[in-house]
Structure 1
Amino acid sequence: MKRVAIIQSNYIPWKGYFDLINKVDEVILYDSVQYTRRDWRNRNQIQTANGPTWLSIPVLVKGKYFQKINETKICDSRWAEKHWKSIYYNYSNACFFEKTNSQFFEFYQVAKNFSHLSEINHFFIKNICEILNIKTKISFSMDYDLVGGKSERLLNLCLQTKATTYLSGPAAKSYLDESLFQSNGINIEWMDYNGYPLYKQIHSQPFVHALSIIDLLFNVGVENAPKYMLSF
């Protein structure tokens, strides 16, 4: 029995992204598909005194309408310094910031040297998985053969990884051909993101779930974080 998930890489993703990873044996970062603007690939949100704000990595998009995620390049190397300053300013008084900030500072020192968005995303995803003690194998869609339409490509990735179950996010319900998977002996399960417990966020605002996981780590700490997730 092998459970697989196939997801596009996101920048410092929210807790649900890591719950999905933690529920499978292998996750494939599906970055050999078209980059989408104003999406989660190059940005995520953190909490501030004035509510959620975006941290966005500047990427080259002009005239590159059909570029793939793993072809997308960074256009301003100062992004990492700016993001860390914003994180420090907004989370330095969080309960567990002192225990975690040096590690993330080092992550940003390394990440600023990458030239491609996929490299940055994978670097943060891999290291945050290690922080959370998530042991799931991380692989890349470019390492496999991609053929067919949307559902066919996902099916073929599952077949190549010898998956018996494909765990998908709920957004794919609008296009995924479930019968195609079933006829090939692969069961489909849908990730349910309902039921996350609340925790004390540093800024006195209405609680926001859809923030980068760094909000959870800085507010409750690495050891307590699994209590506020769904896969542990």
Structure 2
Amino acid sequence: MNSLIYPTSFPNIAHFWAIVNSDSVYFEVCDNYQKQSFRNRAEIYGANGKLALTVPVSYSQKNRQLYKDVRIANEEKWQIQHLKSLQSAYSMSPFFEYYIDDLMPLFETHFDYILNFNLKCFDILSDSLQLNLSPKHTSVFEKDTTDKTDFRTLVRRNFKVESFQPYTQVFTEKHGFIPNLSILDLLFNEGPNTELYLKKQTL
């Protein structure tokens, strides 16, 4: 399967399900940026339930911008906030200490553009998961594709996934199982079993 998908911030589990179960992956990088999506948002499991980590961007709906041209609003100390949120949410998870050092470049490196940050997210997470994938980038935007499976709808925040099997989450006893969070939730809780879990699921 050849998959077409958006690179997103700390991709959710459905995104990585599509990636892991593909023969080749194409990242859509030629579209117009749209708000209210996972392009600049990830969801984790905090002490009070689902918690959004949003990368602030400088974007106006009046002036359409290409995804690759949208800048991060770095005057907000979002990297520090995100790291603290992850530490608070997952410091007690089985594999947090094992992976957090690998992720630190995402919190310590200056990024000017949201697309560059998202691509770096994928690179680091792929290394952590030991995935042998080299995604290609699109060169032109196509509304419809005939030679790839189109997973671009996964970028929508209202896309629901109910078919994934539960796994143990840090706060399961308080709030129950929350599906399709950021891949970080699965990684910190399942560690090396993450890829096997993904291959066993259906979407």
- Taking a change above 3 Å as real, the CA distance of residues 86 and 194 of structure 1, as seen in their structure-2 partners, is closer
2:38 is paired with a residue of what secondary structure?
coil
User: Which residues of 2 match residues 30-109 of structure 1 at below 5 A?
Assistant: 30-62=28-60, 65-76=63-74, 78-109=77-108
The aligned counterpart of 1:22 is 20
User: Which residues of 2 match residues 68-217 of structure 1 at below 5 A?
Assistant: 68-76=66-74, 78-110=77-109, 113-141=110-138, 144=139, 146=140, 150-151=143-144, 154-155=145-146, 158=147, 166-169=148-151, 171=153, 195-203=163-171, 204-217=174-187
TM-score (ref. length: structure 2):
0.85
Deviation at 1:65, TM superposition (A): 3.5
2:57 is paired with a residue of what secondary structure?
coil
- Taking a change above 3 Å as real, the CA distance of residues 30 and 94 of structure 1, as seen in their structure-2 partners, is same
Aligned partner letter, 2:165: P
Work out whether residues 95 and 220 of structure 1, in 8 Å CA contact, stay in contact via their aligned partners in 2: yes
- Tell which has more relative contact order, 1 or 2 (C-alpha 8 A, sep 6+): 2
Please say which structure displays the higher CA radius of gyration.
1
Aligned partner letter, 1:130: D
Aligned partner letter, 1:226: E
Identity %: 24
User: Which residues of 2 match residues 219-230 of structure 1 at below 5 A?
Assistant: 219-221=189-191, 223-230=192-199
Q: Which runs of 5+ in 2 are unaligned?
A: 155-160
1:33 is paired with a residue of what secondary structure?
coil
Work out whether residues 67 and 115 of structure 2, in 8 Å CA contact, stay in contact via their aligned partners in 1: yes
RMSD between aligned residues: 2.2
Give 4+ residue runs of structure 1 displaced > 6 Å after superposition.
Answer: none
Deviation at 1:227, TM superposition (A): 3.3
- Taking a change above 3 Å as real, the CA distance of residues 22 and 226 of structure 1, as seen in their structure-2 partners, is closer
- How far apart in 2 are the matches of 1:4 and 1:73? 29
Count of paired positions? 192
- How far apart in 2 are the matches of 1:133 and 1:100? 12
Q: Which runs of 5+ in 1 are unaligned?
A: 159-165, 173-192
- Could you list the per-position Cα deviations for residues 154-184 of structure 1 after superposition, in whole angstroms to 9, with x for gaps in the alignment? 34xx4xxxxxxx2233949xxxxxxxxxxxx
TM-score (ref. length: structure 1):
0.75
